[in-house]
Structure 1
Amino acid sequence: MRVLYAQSGGVTSVINASAYGVLDEARKAGMEVFVGIHGVTGILKEHLLKINDMDIEGLKYTPAGAFGSCRRKMKTQEDISKLFDVIEKYKIEYFFYNGGNDSMDTAWRIAQEAKTRGFPLKVIGVPKTIDNDLPYTDHCPGYGSAAKYIAISIMEASLDLRSMYVDSTRVFVMEIMGRHAGWLVAAAGLGWLNGIGADIILFPEVYFNKEKFLERVDEIIRKKGYCSIAVSEGIRYPDGFFVSDMGYTDSFGNRQLGGVGFTIAGMIRSELSLKTHVAIPDYLQRSGRHIASKTDIEEAEMVGRTAVRLALSGVTGVMITIERKSNNPYTVEYGTVELNKVADQTKYLPEEFHDDFEITENFVEYAKPLIEGELFPQFRNGLPKYTIFREVEEQ
């Protein structure tokens, strides 16, 4: 039996824990295990790595895509046919694609092609995204750790602001990833569990009202002297236009966003004459493994293991889901959903999780278990010891 695993889309701090779950479970089942380097882009080039005799234990502690990711969408029948040429050449029987919305679309297309050809290929989608916007699953591996990173970062930055505001910066703005869904920016409010967090949160689900926003900033400044703001990169005006974007699209046709933090800061400086500082965590928020959530790490591994177990039982054409059974104590079970139901769909932050500028207790109850616990990597020379496969750099 031969397995092919690959990573796709924006990476997370725990995607490699899912990789470890898939690869270790497959090896234990006596399979020959291959990895596609840089997702389907590498598979189309026959850039595969056999990992049966490799040490993969460090994957559980390593952020980002250890085997390389990609943002390639299988748009044409030519691409699909070429991919199957490789799959047939290497006699692959099981394919696990680890990614988000667009990746589930790719997995679905591959599953459909296998069905059309009568080819005995089992295809399972392994979810990951810091955006937490995949439908039919309570949450996604990668989100809990990114949420924890955001919550801690805004806490620490707000403490810095609180120290200096008397005759220095009065407003701090953090620009946070999240094109359409506000799950990640909402995490900036979790710091209030321990006494300090974002004073204002700008969600992509709430149309941006400049006047109302500036009134709230002014109100908070008058009340306590400083204001900490978390803004989603995807906030829009009522006419649907992004408050800020880079002016071009990526390979999936998505508008490239960025710079909204500086746009918001400019409004504050111009209208309220307040000294403002901006921070953009960017890659840091999705690859901050040093402070990752233990819950997230363990669940990421389990979705990988579950994918292999189900595929071996004959399941195909599905994505693994996480189903929450209880908050106290926090318990989950693992299920499935058909890939075509997930492909290119978005799960938005529910209205009961936020108001105009703040999160609600419902969101706190939802998110708190997902950021619990720590499972630190080993440190060497005062720095985390991460696993780096040099084969990924060979083209």
Structure 2
Amino acid sequence: MPSRQPVQGKLLYAQSGGVTAVINATAAGVIEAARARGVKAYAARNGILGALHEDLIDTSKESKSAITALRHTPGGAFGSCRYKLKSLDDNRAEYERLIEVFRAHDIRWFLYNGGNDSADTALKLSQIGKTLGYDIRCIGVPKTVDNDLAVTDCCPGFGSVAKYTAISTLEASLDVASMAETSTKVFILEVMGRHAGWIAAAAGLAGEGADAPPHLILFPENVFDEAAFLAKVKATVERVGWCTVVASEGIRNAEGRFLAEAGTRDAFGHSQLGGVAPVLAALVKDKLGYKYHWALPDYLQRSARHAASQVDAEQAYAVGKAAVEYALAGMNSVMPVIVRTSDAPYRWKIEPAPLAKVANREKKMPKGFISRDGFGITAAARRYLAPLIAGEAPLPYGKDGLPRYVRLKNAGVPTRLPAFGR
């Protein structure tokens, strides 16, 4: 049994970037594992900004039932942010400030729950801690709907987006099929995925065969070929009577420009995309004359806890728990990653991986996952994807018919330092 004697030092957990339907399950894994070991866990309010501004939350003020309820609550319970720390050379002051905050509150373990940029931040923090003579163990905790983290077989958060996307594709296609005789011929669903087409590929789980939706999947890994796209849509409508298209937001033309380029950039320096679905819809109308509908689920994809994958929810909790175990075991600069040990039956385990092998590396889909014509997924992709959407993760519902999600107290920790930047 784990010791319940208090351990010297505190743990700080922070959420980063776009949240997922199951990121709070990871938070629950972290907090429950820390409590089992007698470690006080703080959370940074609004991600790394909370750590920089000494805006910390004392999770010990939350009840056991509230923390348990995080396992089925979407969003980011402590707030997240899109804020990328610059390099050590460009902005050493921010890293020194973080160490100063850690020192002031006796924080000995820092767990950063995010994607590639967050893994890089955790790695840099572990390095500056050594430079400044402060013993801090930094663990990256995987999270991203895009499934683009290196090393790990899949990313917590992706399985639920994949399930939502496959379900939405199937349900919307049934609608289109019923109306195609006199109304909509083409339905276009735009999904997230700037550089990697994992979410778009998941739509392929909605059906198998040339006549089953989605009839076309547009991947960012492929150059968009307007003529081939229009020919495929036309042939599908003539054969089936209607056509469902799933398009990744990140598809590019032959010049390498996003079809949906909006001309702005987010805090990480990524191009802000303005919507590829209406661009494709305009092509369908202008070139083929078909009636169409398009949908942009956007945040709905990553917040749809009602359609979460059981496998995803379990993996999200497991990486949070493992992150605490690794930290308290003295590990540093590692990430708990998911290792697949079997496709059928699906089996997986958690192992530590060096952050240096994860940070700032992007995992794109293997070429063998995209069908030869470029518009679908292969059997290999289906074998990989199908287990990740398996099972349901039921929600407790209230008398009003709505899920009973939890809102934490998020009681602040008294500050001990001057305000940052003054």
TM-score, length of structure 2 as denominator length: 0.91
1:392, distance to aligned residue in structure 2 (A): 8.5
- Give the aligned partner of residue 35 of structure 2: 27
2:166 alignment partner, one of 151, 165, 183: 151
1:389 aligns with 2:405: no
Instruction: Give deviations 1:239-286, integer Å, cap 9, x for gaps.
Output: 211111221011111101131000000000000000110100100001
Q: How far apart, CA to CA, are the structure 2 residues paired with 1:393 and 1:264?
A: 48
Q: How far apart, CA to CA, are the structure 1 residues paired with 2:404 and 2:362?
A: 35
Letter in 2 for 1:216: K
Of 203-212 and 244-253, the range deviating more from structure 2: 244-253
- Give the aligned partner of residue 261 of structure 2: 245
Q: How far apart, CA to CA, are the structure 2 residues paired with 1:129 and 1:393?
A: 27
The answer to whether the 8 A contact 2:143-2:155 is kept is: yes
1:221 alignment partner, one of 230, 237, 252: 237
- Give the aligned partner of residue 377 of structure 2: 359
Alpha carbons of structure 1 residues 292 and 218: separation in structure 2 relative to 1, 3 Å? same
1:70 alignment partner, one of 81, 84, 102: 81
SS class of match (1:334): strand
Q: How far apart, CA to CA, are the structure 2 residues paired with 1:124 and 1:363?
A: 30
1:178 aligns with 2:193: yes
1:54 alignment partner, one of 62, 70, 80: 62
Letter in 1 for 2:379: E
The answer to whether the 8 A contact 1:68-1:392 is kept is: no
SS class of match (1:67): coil
Alpha carbons of structure 1 residues 392 and 278: separation in structure 2 relative to 1, 3 Å? farther
Letter in 2 for 1:68: G
1:393, distance to aligned residue in structure 2 (A): 11
2:179 alignment partner, one of 155, 164, 185: 164
Instruction: Give deviations 1:177-224, integer Å, cap 9, x for gaps.
Output: 000000011011101169953110000001000001100000001101
1:53, distance to aligned residue in structure 2 (A): 3.5
1:280 aligns with 2:291: no
SS class of match (1:123): strand
2:347 alignment partner, one of 331, 350, 354: 331
Letter in 1 for 2:408: F
1:378 aligns with 2:389: no
Alpha carbons of structure 1 residues 390 and 318: separation in structure 2 relative to 1, 3 Å? same
Identity %: 46
Instruction: Give deviations 1:78-116, integer Å, cap 9, x for gaps.
Output: 111111111111010111000011111111111111122
Q: How far apart, CA to CA, are the structure 2 residues paired with 1:74 and 1:247?
A: 23
Q: How far apart, CA to CA, are the structure 2 residues paired with 1:91 and 1:105?
A: 23
Alpha carbons of structure 1 residues 42 and 129: separation in structure 2 relative to 1, 3 Å? same
1:139 alignment partner, one of 137, 151, 154: 154
TM-score, length of structure 1 as denominator length: 0.97
1:302, distance to aligned residue in structure 2 (A): 0.5
| Total equivalences in the alignment | 394
Give the alignment's Cα RMSD to 1 decimal: 1.5
1:211 alignment partner, one of 223, 227, 231: 227
1:32, distance to aligned residue in structure 2 (A): 1.1
1:255 aligns with 2:271: yes
Q: How far apart, CA to CA, are the structure 1 residues paired with 2:403 and 2:235?
A: 43
Runs of 4 or more off by more than 6 Å in structure 1? none
Q: How far apart, CA to CA, are the structure 1 residues paired with 2:208 and 2:314?
A: 23
- Give the aligned partner of residue 17 of structure 1: 25
- Give the aligned partner of residue 92 of structure 1: 107
Instruction: Give deviations 1:58-91, integer Å, cap 9, x for gaps.
Output: 1000012111001111112111111111111101
Of 27-36 and 47-56, the range deviating more from structure 2: 47-56
Which structure 1 segments of 5+ residues have no match?
Answer: none
The answer to whether the 8 A contact 1:67-1:392 is kept is: no
Letter in 1 for 2:139: I
SS class of match (1:163): helix
Which structure 2 segments of 5+ residues have no match?
Answer: 1-8, 414-422
SS class of match (1:307): helix
